[in-house]
Amino acid sequence: MKDCVFCKIVSREIPAEIEKETDTLCIFKDKFPKASIHLLIVPKKHYTDISESDGEVWSQIRETAVELAREKNLKGFRLVINAGSAAAVKHMHVHFLGNVEVAREV
Protein backbone atom coordinates (compact mmCIF):
# COMPACT_ATOMS: atom_id res chain seq x y z
CA MET A 1 0.00 0.00 0.00
CA LYS A 2 1.50 3.29 -1.07
CA ASP A 3 0.45 5.32 2.01
CA CYS A 4 1.22 2.69 4.65
CA VAL A 5 4.01 3.74 7.01
CA PHE A 6 5.03 0.12 7.70
CA CYS A 7 5.17 -0.70 3.99
CA LYS A 8 7.44 2.33 3.59
CA ILE A 9 9.69 1.11 6.42
CA VAL A 10 9.86 -2.38 4.88
CA SER A 11 10.81 -0.87 1.49
CA ARG A 12 13.33 1.49 3.19
CA GLU A 13 11.49 4.64 2.09
CA ILE A 14 11.27 5.65 5.77
CA PRO A 15 14.17 5.03 8.18
CA ALA A 16 13.72 2.77 11.19
CA GLU A 17 15.98 0.92 13.61
CA ILE A 18 15.71 -2.51 12.02
CA GLU A 19 16.75 -5.29 14.40
CA LYS A 20 16.24 -8.30 12.18
CA GLU A 21 14.79 -9.29 8.86
CA THR A 22 13.65 -12.52 7.25
CA ASP A 23 12.26 -13.21 3.80
CA THR A 24 8.75 -12.44 5.05
CA LEU A 25 9.14 -10.33 8.21
CA CYS A 26 10.75 -7.05 9.21
CA ILE A 27 11.48 -6.48 12.90
CA PHE A 28 12.23 -2.96 14.09
CA LYS A 29 12.19 -0.85 17.25
CA ASP A 30 8.91 0.81 18.19
CA LYS A 31 9.15 4.60 17.91
CA PHE A 32 7.20 5.00 21.16
CA PRO A 33 8.40 2.10 23.35
CA LYS A 34 6.32 0.80 26.26
CA ALA A 35 9.13 -1.44 27.58
CA SER A 36 12.92 -1.46 27.55
CA ILE A 37 12.69 -3.93 24.66
CA HIS A 38 9.80 -3.02 22.37
CA LEU A 39 9.99 -4.33 18.83
CA LEU A 40 7.43 -4.57 16.07
CA ILE A 41 7.22 -7.79 14.10
CA VAL A 42 5.76 -6.77 10.75
CA PRO A 43 4.92 -8.98 7.76
CA LYS A 44 6.50 -7.59 4.60
CA LYS A 45 3.28 -8.37 2.76
CA HIS A 46 0.57 -5.86 3.61
CA TYR A 47 -2.29 -7.34 5.62
CA THR A 48 -4.71 -4.84 7.12
CA ASP A 49 -4.97 -6.91 10.30
CA ILE A 50 -5.09 -10.48 11.61
CA SER A 51 -8.35 -11.25 9.81
CA GLU A 52 -6.47 -11.21 6.46
CA SER A 53 -3.43 -13.22 7.50
CA ASP A 54 -2.84 -16.93 7.24
CA GLY A 55 -1.43 -19.63 9.48
CA GLU A 56 1.99 -19.47 7.83
CA VAL A 57 2.45 -15.83 8.89
CA TRP A 58 1.50 -16.71 12.48
CA SER A 59 3.97 -19.58 12.50
CA GLN A 60 6.75 -17.29 11.29
CA ILE A 61 5.88 -14.65 13.89
CA ARG A 62 5.94 -17.27 16.66
CA GLU A 63 9.31 -18.62 15.53
CA THR A 64 10.75 -15.12 15.27
CA ALA A 65 9.46 -14.10 18.73
CA VAL A 66 11.01 -17.18 20.33
CA GLU A 67 14.27 -16.54 18.48
CA LEU A 68 14.33 -12.88 19.59
CA ALA A 69 13.77 -13.89 23.21
CA ARG A 70 16.59 -16.42 23.00
CA GLU A 71 18.97 -13.92 21.36
CA LYS A 72 18.21 -11.31 24.02
CA ASN A 73 18.41 -13.83 26.90
CA LEU A 74 14.87 -13.04 28.04
CA LYS A 75 13.13 -15.24 30.58
CA GLY A 76 9.79 -14.04 29.31
CA PHE A 77 8.19 -11.71 26.82
CA ARG A 78 4.81 -10.35 25.86
CA LEU A 79 3.17 -10.27 22.42
CA VAL A 80 0.42 -7.71 21.78
CA ILE A 81 -1.78 -7.62 18.69
CA ASN A 82 -4.24 -4.85 17.85
CA ALA A 83 -6.79 -5.20 15.07
CA GLY A 84 -9.50 -3.13 13.44
CA SER A 85 -10.12 0.22 15.10
CA ALA A 86 -7.76 -0.72 17.97
CA ALA A 87 -4.73 -0.56 15.65
CA ALA A 88 -3.05 2.81 15.14
CA VAL A 89 -1.33 1.57 11.96
CA LYS A 90 -3.52 -0.43 9.59
CA HIS A 91 -0.81 -2.95 8.70
CA MET A 92 -0.79 -6.17 10.69
CA HIS A 93 1.94 -6.14 13.30
CA VAL A 94 2.80 -7.74 16.61
CA HIS A 95 4.36 -5.84 19.49
CA PHE A 96 7.19 -7.81 21.09
CA LEU A 97 7.85 -6.55 24.63
CA GLY A 98 10.73 -7.83 26.71
CA ASN A 99 11.78 -6.99 30.27
CA VAL A 100 8.21 -6.35 31.35
CA GLU A 101 6.99 -7.10 34.84
CA VAL A 102 3.72 -8.70 35.74
CA ALA A 103 1.47 -6.39 37.74
CA ARG A 104 0.52 -8.25 40.89
CA GLU A 105 -2.19 -7.38 43.35
CA VAL A 106 -1.20 -7.32 47.00
Please write the tens of the pLDDT for every residue from 47-90. Answer: 998 888 888 899 999 999 999 999 999 989 999 998 888 888 99
pTM (two decimals): 0.90
CA atoms within a 13 Å half-sphere pointing along the CA-CB vector of 103: 0
Whether residue 82 is contained in a domain is answered as yes
Structural domain of 37: 5-98
Within-domain flag for 104: no
User: In 10 A of CB 71, how many CB atoms?
Assistant: 10
Please tell me the predicted confidence (pLDDT) of residue 62. 95
- Domains: count for the chain: 1
Is residue 51 included in any domain, yes or no? yes
Rounded to whole angstroms, the Cα distance separating 88 from 72 reads 27
Question: What CATH code is carried by the domain that includes residue 80?
Answer: 3.30.428.10
The answer to whether 93 is a known catalytic residue is yes
The active-site residue out of 38, 46, 91, 93 is 93
Residue 106 lies in a domain: no
